[in-house]
A and B are shown apart, each in its own frame.
Chain A
Amino acid sequence: MISLLNKIINEIGLSLLFLKEILNTLFKTPCKSHLIYEQIWNVTMESFATTALAGFFVGAIMTVQFTLQMNEFGALGYLGGLATSGTIREVGPLLIAFMLSGKVGAFTSAELGTMRVTEQIDAIRCLGANPIQEIILPRFLGIIISAFFLLGIGLLMSILGGMFLGSLFAGVNPEEYVRHIPTILALPSIFSGLVKCFCFAVVLATICTYKGYTTTGGAKGVGRSVVSTAVTTMICIVVFDWLTSYIADIVIRTIQESA
């Protein structure tokens, strides 16, 4: 038990040191913008369809769930606002994080792991380049920036899904569904969603690049890295979800009290 705890603390420490190295490289060396754009494009396009589909059904699920509750209070007009607020505050960022973790996280980890075990990373160093600047930083920034694009896509599709199901299931017409979104969707909800999206993306980008970069042990090692990336990111995202919700709650209450 103690050795497992030691291992976990050691891994957290090493991941943080790796993140520090990425940030040092980001602020001290020029960014290769074409490599970053390429990664943003790759990550966004790879996850576009699945995020859009999942977003549509999340909106639909939220609408069905809220319909059952709100019907009792005769407040079906607020269905769109409530479903959208819930999606942007909580479900949207979480959905994007899980989507990215499954597709991009595993892919990045496997790609970097393969580069490590086939000595491509050593070759980069031998040929006078910094692997962090050359291959890690573009992927790290690509994942974080893409997360916001995907959040936007997911959110739009969830509104569409909610509108469709709201009309079909609860008889709320699309115009009414959309009309109350600005009434309920407050600025703190949007801010909270964006902060969560950023935190999850940083966690995911750090873990998948770290696990891939430190792969050892040939093909088996690459497999281990991919599995470890999937498990670790899922756990960390859930932990960070709780942490950001807790902090956001304190911040919002403090603002409300001072106002």
Chain B
Amino acid sequence: MIEYKNLVKKFGERTILKGLSLKVNPGEILFILGTSGTGKSVLLKNTVGLLKPDQGEVWVDGEEISGFNENQLQSVRKKCGMVFQHPALFDSLTVFNNIAFGLRKHFSLNEQEISEKVKKALNLVNLAGIEDLFPAQISYGMQKRVSLARAVALDPKILLFDEPTTGLDPVTTSAVNQLIRNLSKKLETTSMVVSHDMNSAMTVADRIVVLDQGNIIALGTPEEMKKSTVPLVKEFLFEAQT
């Protein structure tokens, strides 16, 4: 479904991704863990063409997209729903129009169909009835869930989450993790989740990949991770237990 081959990404003199290769299987939930600045978000942004690799290939649904221009990338982005680290909702638009934004751009739907899809998406994240509110009128946790609703409203084949639980309290974190798990399985999407949280990864992920300094240092199922001897993985597991 998604494959990275020898991916290299530099920002000025700094090389963030150093020849990373990874294959994400269709329908799985893959958690990407690692310390700050190891290229987790960069990897995610390369998947939808928000960043371009300096070397290597990015394959999404059978297409090599690293050389695509903005017009060609539209078809790729139509298949992907992305939830950003910030809720990234548009302040001047209501919740309804925030969710409808992508539907109006990507599809030729009438207002009735858009309204139905928005309501369905809000129901999926348990936020029915807040269509007319503005982002500033709802809590940060709700904004994150609206952001999730905006992503799933497009009926994507791929869901990308960039630190979806950062800044949330433990109860909301658990609710968002459950949502990610349920939505991914219900909608049969391939999901990639960037996170620092090993606890979330152990409960939600099908597989976990750990990045360090732009390379993969561990890859496996949560059970395999528990047995890992890689120091950083052990550190993550220790932090998760305390």
Contact = CB atoms under 8 A, between A and B. Distances in A.
B86 A126 contact: no
Contact of A128 (B85, B87, B102): B102
A119 interface: yes
B153 to A, nearest CB: 10
Contacts of A127: 77, 101-102, 105-106, 150, 154
Contacts of A123: 82, 84, 88-90
Interface string B84-115: 11111110000000000110011000000000
Contact of B84 (A119, A128, A129, A130): A119
B48 A126 contact: yes
Size category of the A interface is 10 to 19
B90 A126 contact: no
A127 B82 CA distance: 9
B85 A129 contact: no
A250 B86 CA distance: 54
Query: For the complex, would chain B's binding face be called helix, strand, loop or mixed by DSSP majority?
Result: mixed
Interface residues of B, number: 22
Nearest to B45: A122
Nearest to A118: B86
Contacts of B101: 127, 129
Contacts of B128: none
Nearest to A114: B91
Given A127-B105, A127-B106, A128-B102, A122 B88 contact: yes
Interface in B138-154: 150, 154
Contacts of B150: 127
B169 interface: no
Interface of B: 45, 48, 50, 70, 74, 77-78, 80, 82, 84-90, 101-102, 105-106, 150, 154
27 contacts: A118-B86, A118-B88, A119-B84, A119-B86, A119-B88, A120-B88, A120-B89, A122-B50, A122-B84, A122-B88, A123-B88, A123-B89, A123-B90, A125-B50, A125-B77, A126-B48, A126-B50, A126-B102, A127-B77, A127-B101, A127-B150, A127-B154, A128-B74, A128-B78, A128-B102, A128-B106, A129-B105
